[in-house]
Structure 1
Amino acid sequence: MRALADVVRTRSPGADVRVAFLDLSAPSVGDALAGLYAEGHRHVVAVPLLLGHAYHARVDLPALVDEVTGSLPRLSVTVADVLGPDPLLEEVALDRLAAGGADLADPDLGVVLAAVGSSHDAANDVVARIARGWDGRHSARVAAAFASAARPDVPAAITRLRAHGARRFAVASWFFAPGLLPDRIGASAAEVAPGALVAAPLGTDPRVAAVVLDRYDEALTGAAGTVRTA
Protein backbone atom coordinates (compact mmCIF):
# COMPACT_ATOMS: atom_id res chain seq x y z
CA MET A 1 0.00 0.00 0.00
CA ARG A 2 2.86 2.38 0.78
CA ALA A 3 4.49 1.55 -2.54
CA LEU A 4 1.18 2.20 -4.32
CA ALA A 5 0.99 5.59 -2.60
CA ASP A 6 4.43 6.36 -4.05
CA VAL A 7 3.10 5.61 -7.54
CA VAL A 8 0.10 7.89 -6.89
CA ARG A 9 2.49 10.69 -5.84
CA THR A 10 4.51 10.20 -9.01
CA ARG A 11 1.39 10.52 -11.16
CA SER A 12 0.13 13.58 -9.25
CA PRO A 13 3.18 15.49 -7.98
CA GLY A 14 1.14 18.30 -6.41
CA ALA A 15 -1.00 16.03 -4.26
CA ASP A 16 -0.31 15.50 -0.56
CA VAL A 17 -0.75 11.71 -0.38
CA ARG A 18 -0.83 9.93 2.98
CA VAL A 19 -1.42 6.28 3.84
CA ALA A 20 -3.69 5.07 6.65
CA PHE A 21 -5.09 1.68 7.67
CA LEU A 22 -8.45 0.54 8.99
CA ASP A 23 -6.81 -1.95 11.34
CA LEU A 24 -3.73 -4.10 11.99
CA SER A 25 -1.20 -1.51 10.77
CA ALA A 26 -0.20 2.06 11.54
CA PRO A 27 -1.03 4.83 11.12
CA SER A 28 -4.73 4.37 11.76
CA VAL A 29 -7.30 6.43 9.87
CA GLY A 30 -7.94 8.44 13.03
CA ASP A 31 -4.25 9.17 13.62
CA ALA A 32 -3.70 10.15 10.00
CA LEU A 33 -6.66 12.55 10.01
CA ALA A 34 -5.62 14.02 13.36
CA GLY A 35 -2.11 14.55 12.03
CA LEU A 36 -3.37 16.34 8.94
CA TYR A 37 -5.61 18.50 11.11
CA ALA A 38 -2.65 19.43 13.33
CA GLU A 39 -0.77 20.51 10.20
CA GLY A 40 -3.59 22.91 9.35
CA HIS A 41 -5.59 20.92 6.83
CA ARG A 42 -9.35 21.38 7.04
CA HIS A 43 -10.51 19.32 4.05
CA VAL A 44 -9.31 15.77 3.40
CA VAL A 45 -10.37 13.28 0.72
CA ALA A 46 -10.25 9.67 1.91
CA VAL A 47 -9.94 7.22 -0.99
CA PRO A 48 -10.72 3.67 0.19
CA LEU A 49 -8.32 1.12 -1.25
CA LEU A 50 -11.18 -1.34 -1.43
CA LEU A 51 -12.54 -3.33 -4.34
CA GLY A 52 -16.20 -3.41 -3.35
CA HIS A 53 -18.98 -1.99 -1.21
CA ALA A 54 -18.64 -4.48 1.62
CA TYR A 55 -18.44 -3.97 5.39
CA HIS A 56 -15.25 -1.89 5.45
CA ALA A 57 -16.64 0.55 2.89
CA ARG A 58 -20.21 0.73 4.18
CA VAL A 59 -19.62 0.64 7.94
CA ASP A 60 -16.01 0.70 9.17
CA LEU A 61 -14.59 3.67 7.31
CA PRO A 62 -17.64 5.96 7.68
CA ALA A 63 -17.76 5.22 11.41
CA LEU A 64 -14.07 6.00 11.86
CA VAL A 65 -14.38 9.24 9.92
CA ASP A 66 -17.47 10.29 11.88
CA GLU A 67 -15.65 9.62 15.15
CA VAL A 68 -12.70 11.78 14.14
CA THR A 69 -14.66 14.65 12.63
CA GLY A 70 -16.79 14.75 15.76
CA SER A 71 -13.75 15.74 17.80
CA LEU A 72 -11.96 18.04 15.35
CA PRO A 73 -13.80 21.33 14.72
CA ARG A 74 -14.26 22.40 11.12
CA LEU A 75 -12.59 19.30 9.66
CA SER A 76 -14.34 18.18 6.48
CA VAL A 77 -13.63 14.69 5.15
CA THR A 78 -14.93 13.55 1.78
CA VAL A 79 -15.01 9.77 1.50
CA ALA A 80 -14.54 8.83 -2.14
CA ASP A 81 -16.05 5.81 -3.83
CA VAL A 82 -14.29 2.44 -3.65
CA LEU A 83 -11.89 1.57 -6.46
CA GLY A 84 -13.68 -1.45 -7.85
CA PRO A 85 -15.13 -2.51 -10.06
CA ASP A 86 -13.27 -0.66 -12.79
CA PRO A 87 -12.19 -1.72 -16.30
CA LEU A 88 -8.60 -0.65 -15.60
CA LEU A 89 -8.42 -2.95 -12.58
CA GLU A 90 -9.81 -5.81 -14.64
CA GLU A 91 -7.08 -5.16 -17.20
CA VAL A 92 -4.44 -5.38 -14.49
CA ALA A 93 -5.86 -8.66 -13.13
CA LEU A 94 -5.90 -10.15 -16.64
CA ASP A 95 -2.35 -8.97 -17.30
CA ARG A 96 -1.20 -10.56 -14.03
CA LEU A 97 -2.66 -13.85 -15.29
CA ALA A 98 -0.89 -13.53 -18.62
CA ALA A 99 2.39 -12.64 -16.91
CA GLY A 100 2.11 -15.87 -14.93
CA GLY A 101 1.68 -17.90 -18.11
CA ALA A 102 -2.09 -18.29 -18.36
CA ASP A 103 -3.48 -18.36 -21.91
CA LEU A 104 -7.11 -17.26 -21.92
CA ALA A 105 -7.41 -18.53 -25.49
CA ASP A 106 -6.94 -22.07 -24.17
CA PRO A 107 -10.35 -23.81 -24.06
CA ASP A 108 -8.97 -26.36 -21.57
CA LEU A 109 -8.09 -23.64 -19.06
CA GLY A 110 -10.30 -22.92 -16.06
CA VAL A 111 -9.79 -19.56 -14.38
CA VAL A 112 -10.90 -18.78 -10.84
CA LEU A 113 -11.39 -15.09 -10.12
CA ALA A 114 -10.65 -15.06 -6.39
CA ALA A 115 -11.84 -12.29 -4.07
CA VAL A 116 -12.17 -11.78 -0.33
CA GLY A 117 -15.91 -12.49 0.00
CA SER A 118 -18.51 -10.61 2.00
CA SER A 119 -21.70 -11.12 3.97
CA HIS A 120 -23.09 -8.37 1.72
CA ASP A 121 -24.43 -10.25 -1.30
CA ALA A 122 -24.23 -7.24 -3.61
CA ALA A 123 -20.45 -7.07 -3.16
CA ASN A 124 -20.11 -10.74 -4.10
CA ASP A 125 -22.41 -10.27 -7.08
CA VAL A 126 -20.01 -7.71 -8.54
CA VAL A 127 -17.18 -10.25 -8.53
CA ALA A 128 -19.44 -12.90 -10.07
CA ARG A 129 -20.46 -10.42 -12.77
CA ILE A 130 -16.82 -9.73 -13.64
CA ALA A 131 -16.15 -13.47 -13.89
CA ARG A 132 -19.15 -13.91 -16.21
CA GLY A 133 -17.87 -11.09 -18.38
CA TRP A 134 -14.47 -12.74 -18.71
CA ASP A 135 -16.10 -16.09 -19.39
CA GLY A 136 -18.03 -14.58 -22.27
CA ARG A 137 -15.01 -12.91 -23.87
CA HIS A 138 -12.42 -15.69 -23.72
CA SER A 139 -12.13 -19.36 -24.64
CA ALA A 140 -11.08 -20.25 -21.09
CA ARG A 141 -13.88 -20.90 -18.63
CA VAL A 142 -14.06 -18.47 -15.69
CA ALA A 143 -15.76 -18.71 -12.30
CA ALA A 144 -15.73 -16.53 -9.21
CA ALA A 145 -14.62 -17.80 -5.79
CA PHE A 146 -14.21 -16.30 -2.34
CA ALA A 147 -11.73 -16.67 0.50
CA SER A 148 -14.28 -16.18 3.28
CA ALA A 149 -17.89 -15.33 4.13
CA ALA A 150 -19.30 -16.37 0.75
CA ARG A 151 -19.62 -19.30 -1.63
CA PRO A 152 -18.29 -20.86 -3.73
CA ASP A 153 -14.83 -21.26 -2.27
CA VAL A 154 -11.87 -22.07 -4.52
CA PRO A 155 -12.20 -25.90 -4.41
CA ALA A 156 -15.90 -25.66 -5.30
CA ALA A 157 -15.17 -23.28 -8.17
CA ILE A 158 -12.49 -25.60 -9.55
CA THR A 159 -14.89 -28.53 -9.30
CA ARG A 160 -17.44 -26.61 -11.35
CA LEU A 161 -14.83 -25.66 -13.95
CA ARG A 162 -13.76 -29.31 -14.23
CA ALA A 163 -17.39 -30.26 -14.84
CA HIS A 164 -17.35 -27.85 -17.78
CA GLY A 165 -14.26 -29.45 -19.30
CA ALA A 166 -11.35 -27.52 -17.76
CA ARG A 167 -8.16 -29.55 -17.45
CA ARG A 168 -5.69 -26.83 -16.44
CA PHE A 169 -6.29 -24.12 -13.85
CA ALA A 170 -5.25 -20.60 -12.98
CA VAL A 171 -6.30 -18.24 -10.20
CA ALA A 172 -6.75 -14.53 -10.89
CA SER A 173 -6.29 -12.28 -7.87
CA TRP A 174 -8.98 -9.69 -7.06
CA PHE A 175 -6.78 -8.34 -4.26
CA PHE A 176 -4.51 -5.34 -4.06
CA ALA A 177 -1.70 -6.88 -2.04
CA PRO A 178 -0.28 -10.15 -0.69
CA GLY A 179 -1.62 -11.33 2.63
CA LEU A 180 -3.40 -13.99 4.65
CA LEU A 181 -6.44 -14.38 2.38
CA PRO A 182 -4.51 -14.55 -0.93
CA ASP A 183 -2.23 -17.13 0.73
CA ARG A 184 -5.32 -19.12 1.76
CA ILE A 185 -6.61 -19.04 -1.78
CA GLY A 186 -3.29 -20.20 -3.20
CA ALA A 187 -3.14 -23.08 -0.72
CA SER A 188 -6.72 -24.13 -1.50
CA ALA A 189 -6.00 -24.14 -5.23
CA ALA A 190 -2.86 -26.23 -4.75
CA GLU A 191 -4.79 -28.84 -2.75
CA VAL A 192 -7.39 -29.53 -5.42
CA ALA A 193 -5.43 -28.61 -8.55
CA PRO A 194 -1.69 -29.19 -8.03
CA GLY A 195 0.33 -27.00 -10.35
CA ALA A 196 -2.42 -24.40 -10.72
CA LEU A 197 -1.06 -21.00 -11.65
CA VAL A 198 -1.77 -18.33 -9.03
CA ALA A 199 -1.47 -14.79 -10.39
CA ALA A 200 0.02 -11.91 -8.44
CA PRO A 201 -2.28 -9.30 -6.86
CA LEU A 202 -3.00 -5.96 -8.53
CA GLY A 203 -0.18 -4.30 -6.62
CA THR A 204 1.48 -1.07 -7.72
CA ASP A 205 0.53 -1.08 -11.39
CA PRO A 206 0.20 2.52 -12.65
CA ARG A 207 -3.37 1.76 -13.71
CA VAL A 208 -4.28 1.10 -10.07
CA ALA A 209 -2.84 4.51 -9.19
CA ALA A 210 -4.84 6.03 -12.06
CA VAL A 211 -8.07 4.66 -10.56
CA VAL A 212 -7.11 6.07 -7.13
CA LEU A 213 -6.71 9.50 -8.71
CA ASP A 214 -9.96 9.11 -10.66
CA ARG A 215 -11.84 8.50 -7.40
CA TYR A 216 -10.07 11.46 -5.80
CA ASP A 217 -11.05 13.74 -8.69
CA GLU A 218 -14.65 12.50 -8.64
CA ALA A 219 -14.87 13.20 -4.91
CA LEU A 220 -13.48 16.71 -5.33
CA THR A 221 -15.90 17.58 -8.12
CA GLY A 222 -18.87 16.14 -6.25
CA ALA A 223 -19.50 13.39 -8.79
CA ALA A 224 -19.12 10.80 -6.04
CA GLY A 225 -18.27 10.66 -2.39
CA THR A 226 -19.77 11.42 1.00
CA VAL A 227 -18.83 14.55 2.94
CA ARG A 228 -18.54 14.39 6.71
CA THR A 229 -17.97 17.63 8.61
CA ALA A 230 -17.55 18.29 12.31
Structure 2
Amino acid sequence: MEQGERLRGQSRIKGIEKYRKRKEKKLKAVLFVGHGSRLEAGNEEVRQFIERMRPDIDPALLVETCFLEFASPNIDDGIQLCIEQGADEIHVIPIILLHAGHSKLHIPAEIEEAKGQFPDIRFTYGQTIGIHNEIFQILKSRLQEVGFDCTAKHEDTAILFIARGSSDFDAKEDFYQISRLLSEQINVPIFESAFMGVTTPTVEQGIERCVELGAKKIIMLPYFLFTGILMERMARMAVDFTEKYPVVDIDIANYFGYHPKLQNILLERLHQAIDGTSTGMQDLENFRKYVAEHGYEHHH
Protein backbone atom coordinates (compact mmCIF):
# COMPACT_ATOMS: atom_id res chain seq x y z
CA MET A 1 0.00 0.00 0.00
CA GLU A 2 1.24 3.53 -0.77
CA GLN A 3 -0.95 6.50 0.20
CA GLY A 4 -4.03 4.28 0.00
CA GLU A 5 -3.05 2.94 -3.42
CA ARG A 6 -2.32 -0.76 -3.79
CA LEU A 7 0.87 -1.37 -5.72
CA ARG A 8 0.61 -3.82 -8.61
CA GLY A 9 3.37 -6.34 -9.20
CA GLN A 10 4.62 -7.76 -12.47
CA SER A 11 2.27 -10.74 -12.00
CA ARG A 12 -0.65 -8.40 -12.62
CA ILE A 13 0.83 -7.15 -15.88
CA LYS A 14 1.49 -10.72 -17.00
CA GLY A 15 -2.11 -11.58 -16.16
CA ILE A 16 -3.37 -8.77 -18.37
CA GLU A 17 -1.12 -9.87 -21.22
CA LYS A 18 -2.32 -13.48 -20.97
CA TYR A 19 -5.89 -12.25 -20.97
CA ARG A 20 -5.34 -10.18 -24.12
CA LYS A 21 -3.64 -13.05 -25.92
CA ARG A 22 -6.41 -15.54 -25.09
CA LYS A 23 -9.30 -13.17 -25.52
CA GLU A 24 -10.87 -15.30 -28.27
CA LYS A 25 -11.64 -18.07 -25.76
CA LYS A 26 -15.00 -17.34 -24.11
CA LEU A 27 -15.73 -19.03 -20.78
CA LYS A 28 -17.70 -18.27 -17.65
CA ALA A 29 -16.22 -18.63 -14.19
CA VAL A 30 -17.39 -18.72 -10.59
CA LEU A 31 -15.02 -17.28 -8.01
CA PHE A 32 -15.87 -18.26 -4.44
CA VAL A 33 -14.53 -15.87 -1.81
CA GLY A 34 -13.79 -17.21 1.66
CA HIS A 35 -12.89 -14.92 4.55
CA GLY A 36 -9.49 -16.49 5.16
CA SER A 37 -7.99 -17.55 8.47
CA ARG A 38 -4.64 -17.32 10.23
CA LEU A 39 -5.23 -21.02 10.91
CA GLU A 40 -4.42 -22.83 7.67
CA ALA A 41 -6.74 -25.71 8.56
CA GLY A 42 -9.66 -23.30 8.18
CA ASN A 43 -8.52 -22.22 4.71
CA GLU A 44 -8.11 -25.84 3.66
CA GLU A 45 -11.66 -26.57 4.85
CA VAL A 46 -12.92 -23.84 2.51
CA ARG A 47 -11.00 -25.30 -0.43
CA GLN A 48 -12.22 -28.82 0.29
CA PHE A 49 -15.78 -27.56 0.70
CA ILE A 50 -15.74 -26.06 -2.80
CA GLU A 51 -14.20 -29.26 -4.20
CA ARG A 52 -17.13 -31.21 -2.73
CA MET A 53 -19.53 -28.81 -4.44
CA ARG A 54 -18.02 -29.22 -7.91
CA PRO A 55 -20.22 -32.18 -8.97
CA ASP A 56 -23.29 -29.96 -8.44
CA ILE A 57 -21.88 -26.98 -10.36
CA ASP A 58 -22.37 -26.65 -14.12
CA PRO A 59 -19.25 -28.37 -15.59
CA ALA A 60 -19.04 -25.61 -18.20
CA LEU A 61 -18.11 -23.14 -15.44
CA LEU A 62 -14.53 -22.58 -14.36
CA VAL A 63 -14.40 -22.82 -10.56
CA GLU A 64 -11.82 -21.01 -8.43
CA THR A 65 -11.54 -20.25 -4.71
CA CYS A 66 -9.87 -17.21 -3.15
CA PHE A 67 -9.77 -15.36 0.17
CA LEU A 68 -10.28 -11.89 1.56
CA GLU A 69 -7.25 -12.05 3.82
CA PHE A 70 -4.71 -14.29 5.58
CA ALA A 71 -4.63 -16.85 2.73
CA SER A 72 -3.82 -17.25 -0.95
CA PRO A 73 -4.91 -16.61 -3.56
CA ASN A 74 -6.44 -13.25 -2.68
CA ILE A 75 -9.40 -11.87 -4.68
CA ASP A 76 -7.15 -9.96 -7.05
CA ASP A 77 -5.21 -13.13 -7.89
CA GLY A 78 -8.41 -15.19 -8.05
CA ILE A 79 -9.84 -12.87 -10.69
CA GLN A 80 -6.59 -13.12 -12.67
CA LEU A 81 -6.70 -16.91 -12.51
CA CYS A 82 -10.17 -16.90 -14.03
CA ILE A 83 -9.20 -14.46 -16.80
CA GLU A 84 -5.97 -16.28 -17.64
CA GLN A 85 -8.04 -19.43 -18.24
CA GLY A 86 -10.22 -17.55 -20.71
CA ALA A 87 -13.13 -16.29 -18.59
CA ASP A 88 -14.98 -13.31 -20.02
CA GLU A 89 -17.68 -13.50 -17.33
CA ILE A 90 -16.97 -13.98 -13.60
CA HIS A 91 -19.57 -14.65 -10.92
CA VAL A 92 -18.09 -13.63 -7.56
CA ILE A 93 -19.78 -15.51 -4.69
CA PRO A 94 -18.96 -14.61 -1.07
CA ILE A 95 -18.81 -17.48 1.44
CA ILE A 96 -19.83 -15.15 4.23
CA LEU A 97 -22.58 -15.55 6.83
CA LEU A 98 -23.68 -11.98 7.50
CA HIS A 99 -23.85 -8.88 5.33
CA ALA A 100 -21.30 -6.42 6.74
CA GLY A 101 -18.16 -4.53 5.76
CA HIS A 102 -16.51 -7.38 3.85
CA SER A 103 -19.50 -7.95 1.58
CA LYS A 104 -20.57 -4.29 1.40
CA LEU A 105 -17.18 -2.67 0.85
CA HIS A 106 -14.14 -4.91 0.55
CA ILE A 107 -15.31 -7.40 -2.08
CA PRO A 108 -17.12 -4.74 -4.17
CA ALA A 109 -13.91 -2.67 -4.09
CA GLU A 110 -12.00 -5.60 -5.59
CA ILE A 111 -14.66 -6.14 -8.27
CA GLU A 112 -14.79 -2.45 -9.21
CA GLU A 113 -11.00 -2.29 -9.39
CA ALA A 114 -10.91 -5.37 -11.62
CA LYS A 115 -13.58 -3.87 -13.88
CA GLY A 116 -11.27 -0.92 -14.42
CA GLN A 117 -8.37 -3.23 -15.28
CA PHE A 118 -10.46 -5.56 -17.45
CA PRO A 119 -13.28 -3.52 -19.02
CA ASP A 120 -14.28 -6.34 -21.38
CA ILE A 121 -14.98 -8.78 -18.54
CA ARG A 122 -18.51 -9.01 -17.16
CA PHE A 123 -18.75 -9.39 -13.38
CA THR A 124 -21.73 -10.42 -11.30
CA TYR A 125 -21.79 -10.45 -7.52
CA GLY A 126 -23.63 -12.91 -5.30
CA GLN A 127 -25.22 -12.18 -1.95
CA THR A 128 -24.09 -13.44 1.43
CA ILE A 129 -25.73 -16.42 3.14
CA GLY A 130 -27.78 -14.10 5.30
CA ILE A 131 -31.11 -15.22 6.76
CA HIS A 132 -31.95 -18.48 4.99
CA ASN A 133 -34.25 -21.33 6.03
CA GLU A 134 -31.53 -23.93 5.53
CA ILE A 135 -29.27 -22.46 8.22
CA PHE A 136 -31.73 -23.42 10.95
CA GLN A 137 -31.56 -27.06 9.86
CA ILE A 138 -27.76 -26.87 9.98
CA LEU A 139 -27.76 -25.37 13.47
CA LYS A 140 -30.26 -27.90 14.79
CA SER A 141 -28.26 -30.79 13.35
CA ARG A 142 -25.16 -29.50 15.15
CA LEU A 143 -27.14 -29.40 18.40
CA GLN A 144 -28.35 -32.96 17.85
CA GLU A 145 -24.75 -34.11 17.43
CA VAL A 146 -24.03 -33.13 21.05
CA GLY A 147 -27.07 -35.05 22.30
CA PHE A 148 -29.68 -32.28 22.20
CA ASP A 149 -33.13 -33.47 21.13
CA CYS A 150 -34.61 -30.56 19.16
CA THR A 151 -38.12 -32.03 19.43
CA ALA A 152 -38.14 -32.38 23.23
CA LYS A 153 -38.68 -29.92 26.06
CA HIS A 154 -35.51 -29.23 28.05
CA GLU A 155 -35.50 -28.11 31.69
CA ASP A 156 -32.58 -26.08 33.05
CA THR A 157 -30.82 -26.09 29.66
CA ALA A 158 -29.43 -22.97 27.98
CA ILE A 159 -28.30 -22.38 24.43
CA LEU A 160 -25.62 -19.71 24.03
CA PHE A 161 -25.59 -18.71 20.36
CA ILE A 162 -22.18 -17.23 19.47
CA ALA A 163 -21.18 -15.10 16.46
CA ARG A 164 -17.87 -13.54 15.44
CA GLY A 165 -19.06 -10.00 16.19
CA SER A 166 -19.40 -6.96 13.94
CA SER A 167 -19.77 -3.22 14.27
CA ASP A 168 -22.16 -3.27 11.30
CA PHE A 169 -25.76 -2.55 12.35
CA ASP A 170 -27.33 -4.73 9.63
CA ALA A 171 -25.14 -7.71 10.51
CA LYS A 172 -26.07 -7.49 14.19
CA GLU A 173 -29.75 -7.10 13.35
CA ASP A 174 -29.66 -10.16 11.10
CA PHE A 175 -27.85 -12.21 13.74
CA TYR A 176 -30.42 -11.30 16.38
CA GLN A 177 -33.23 -12.17 13.97
CA ILE A 178 -31.63 -15.56 13.29
CA SER A 179 -31.23 -16.02 17.04
CA ARG A 180 -34.91 -15.26 17.64
CA LEU A 181 -36.11 -17.56 14.85
CA LEU A 182 -33.92 -20.41 16.08
CA SER A 183 -35.09 -19.96 19.68
CA GLU A 184 -38.68 -20.37 18.46
CA GLN A 185 -37.82 -23.75 16.92
CA ILE A 186 -36.32 -25.39 20.02
CA ASN A 187 -37.81 -25.75 23.49
CA VAL A 188 -35.34 -24.39 26.04
CA PRO A 189 -36.05 -21.98 28.90
CA ILE A 190 -32.86 -19.98 28.28
CA PHE A 191 -31.59 -18.81 24.90
CA GLU A 192 -28.87 -16.15 24.87
CA SER A 193 -26.70 -14.56 22.18
CA ALA A 194 -23.08 -13.44 22.45
CA PHE A 195 -20.11 -12.33 20.37
CA MET A 196 -16.45 -13.31 20.26
CA GLY A 197 -15.32 -9.73 19.74
CA VAL A 198 -16.02 -6.16 18.55
CA THR A 199 -19.38 -5.85 20.29
CA THR A 200 -21.27 -7.03 23.36
CA PRO A 201 -22.48 -9.12 25.09
CA THR A 202 -19.25 -11.08 25.23
CA VAL A 203 -19.18 -14.86 25.52
CA GLU A 204 -18.19 -14.50 29.18
CA GLN A 205 -21.20 -12.27 29.79
CA GLY A 206 -23.42 -14.74 27.96
CA ILE A 207 -22.25 -17.64 30.10
CA GLU A 208 -22.72 -15.60 33.28
CA ARG A 209 -26.24 -14.69 32.17
CA CYS A 210 -27.12 -18.35 31.55
CA VAL A 211 -25.79 -19.35 34.98
CA GLU A 212 -27.67 -16.50 36.68
CA LEU A 213 -30.89 -17.67 35.02
CA GLY A 214 -30.41 -21.12 36.56
CA ALA A 215 -28.95 -23.16 33.72
CA LYS A 216 -27.64 -26.57 34.75
CA LYS A 217 -26.47 -27.32 31.22
CA ILE A 218 -25.16 -24.83 28.65
CA ILE A 219 -24.55 -25.63 24.99
CA MET A 220 -22.28 -23.15 23.23
CA LEU A 221 -23.55 -23.02 19.64
CA PRO A 222 -21.08 -21.37 17.21
CA TYR A 223 -22.38 -19.37 14.27
CA PHE A 224 -19.22 -20.00 12.24
CA LEU A 225 -18.70 -21.56 8.82
CA PHE A 226 -15.31 -23.23 9.28
CA THR A 227 -12.61 -23.69 11.88
CA GLY A 228 -10.16 -20.93 12.72
CA ILE A 229 -8.46 -19.01 15.51
CA LEU A 230 -11.80 -18.00 17.05
CA MET A 231 -13.10 -21.57 17.12
CA GLU A 232 -9.92 -22.66 18.90
CA ARG A 233 -10.35 -19.81 21.37
CA MET A 234 -13.97 -20.81 21.95
CA ALA A 235 -12.89 -24.37 22.75
CA ARG A 236 -10.43 -23.04 25.34
CA MET A 237 -13.18 -20.84 26.78
CA ALA A 238 -15.43 -23.88 27.23
CA VAL A 239 -12.69 -25.56 29.29
CA ASP A 240 -12.24 -22.44 31.42
CA PHE A 241 -15.99 -22.07 31.98
CA THR A 242 -16.22 -25.71 33.08
CA GLU A 243 -13.57 -25.05 35.72
CA LYS A 244 -15.24 -21.82 36.83
CA TYR A 245 -18.74 -23.35 37.04
CA PRO A 246 -18.14 -27.01 38.04
CA VAL A 247 -21.82 -27.66 38.81
CA VAL A 248 -22.84 -26.62 35.27
CA ASP A 249 -22.46 -29.02 32.33
CA ILE A 250 -20.94 -26.99 29.50
CA ASP A 251 -20.72 -28.38 25.99
CA ILE A 252 -19.75 -26.90 22.63
CA ALA A 253 -21.41 -27.78 19.32
CA ASN A 254 -19.62 -27.90 15.97
CA TYR A 255 -19.48 -25.12 13.39
CA PHE A 256 -21.24 -25.44 9.99
CA GLY A 257 -18.40 -27.23 8.20
CA TYR A 258 -19.14 -29.61 5.32
CA HIS A 259 -22.90 -29.57 5.78
CA PRO A 260 -24.81 -30.41 2.57
CA LYS A 261 -27.39 -27.71 3.32
CA LEU A 262 -24.61 -25.12 3.31
CA GLN A 263 -23.77 -26.33 -0.19
CA ASN A 264 -27.43 -25.88 -1.15
CA ILE A 265 -27.36 -22.26 -0.01
CA LEU A 266 -24.19 -21.39 -1.92
CA LEU A 267 -25.48 -23.10 -5.06
CA GLU A 268 -28.63 -21.01 -4.75
CA ARG A 269 -26.53 -17.86 -4.37
CA LEU A 270 -24.58 -18.83 -7.49
CA HIS A 271 -27.74 -19.40 -9.53
CA GLN A 272 -29.10 -16.03 -8.38
CA ALA A 273 -25.92 -14.31 -9.55
CA ILE A 274 -26.15 -16.05 -12.91
CA ASP A 275 -29.85 -15.35 -13.51
CA GLY A 276 -29.70 -11.74 -12.33
CA THR A 277 -31.82 -12.07 -9.18
CA SER A 278 -28.97 -11.60 -6.68
CA THR A 279 -29.06 -8.59 -4.36
CA GLY A 280 -25.29 -8.48 -4.76
CA MET A 281 -25.58 -6.29 -7.84
CA GLN A 282 -27.30 -3.67 -5.71
CA ASP A 283 -24.36 -3.91 -3.33
CA LEU A 284 -22.03 -2.95 -6.18
CA GLU A 285 -24.23 0.03 -6.99
CA ASN A 286 -24.35 1.03 -3.31
CA PHE A 287 -20.57 0.78 -3.16
CA ARG A 288 -20.16 3.08 -6.16
CA LYS A 289 -22.46 5.63 -4.50
CA TYR A 290 -20.54 5.30 -1.23
CA VAL A 291 -17.22 5.98 -2.97
CA ALA A 292 -18.69 8.97 -4.81
CA GLU A 293 -19.85 10.47 -1.52
CA HIS A 294 -17.15 9.42 0.93
CA GLY A 295 -14.18 8.12 -1.03
CA TYR A 296 -12.60 4.78 -0.23
CA GLU A 297 -9.15 3.72 0.89
CA HIS A 298 -8.64 0.10 0.00
CA HIS A 299 -6.92 -2.02 2.66
CA HIS A 300 -7.35 -5.58 1.40
TM-score by length of 2: 0.71
Match of 2:94 among 34, 48, 55: 48
Residue pair 1:128, 1:143 contacting (<8 A) in 2 also: no
Counterparts of 2:172 and 2:235 in 1: how far apart (Å)? 19
Q: Is residue 218 from structure 1 mapped to residue 267 from structure 2 by the alignment?
A: no
Q: Secondary structure of the residue that 2:177 maps to in structure 1?
A: helix
TM-score by length of 1: 0.92
Q: Is residue 139 from structure 1 mapped to residue 184 from structure 2 by the alignment?
A: no
**Larger RCO (alpha carbons 8 Å, 6+ apart):** 1
Deviation by residue 1:80-119 (Cα, 9 ceiling, x = unmatched):
0001221212211221121122344322111111111101
Counterparts of 1:109 and 1:122 in 2: how far apart (Å)? 29
Counterparts of 2:161 and 2:254 in 1: how far apart (Å)? 12
Once the two structures are overlaid, the 10-residue window that deviates more, 120-129 or 8-17, is 8-17
Question: 1:8 is matched with which residue?
Answer: 53
Letter in 2 for 1:187: R
Residue pair 1:169, 1:196 contacting (<8 A) in 2 also: yes
Percent identical residues: 23
Question: 1:182 is matched with which residue?
Answer: 231
Unaligned runs of 5+ in 2: 1-45, 244-248, 285-300
Question: 2:109 is matched with which residue?
Answer: 63
Match of 1:203 among 248, 252, 257: 257
Shift of residue 135, structure 1, vs aligned partner = 2.2
Counterparts of 1:132 and 1:159 in 2: how far apart (Å)? 20
Residue pair 2:67, 2:75 contacting (<8 A) in 1 also: yes
Question: 2:217 is matched with which residue?
Answer: 168
Shift of residue 136, structure 1, vs aligned partner = 2.6
Question: 1:129 is matched with which residue?
Answer: 177
Counterparts of 1:44 and 1:107 in 2: how far apart (Å)? 51
Deviation by residue 1:54-75 (Cα, 9 ceiling, x = unmatched):
1111111111121222112311
Question: 2:13 is matched with which residue?
Answer: none
Q: Secondary structure of the residue that 2:87 maps to in structure 1?
A: coil
Shift of residue 13, structure 1, vs aligned partner = 4.9
Letter in 1 for 2:217: R
Shift of residue 26, structure 1, vs aligned partner = 0.7
Residue pair 1:94, 1:172 contacting (<8 A) in 2 also: no
Unaligned runs of 5+ in 1: none
Residue pair 2:136, 2:182 contacting (<8 A) in 1 also: no
Aligned length: 229
Residue pair 1:169, 1:193 contacting (<8 A) in 2 also: no
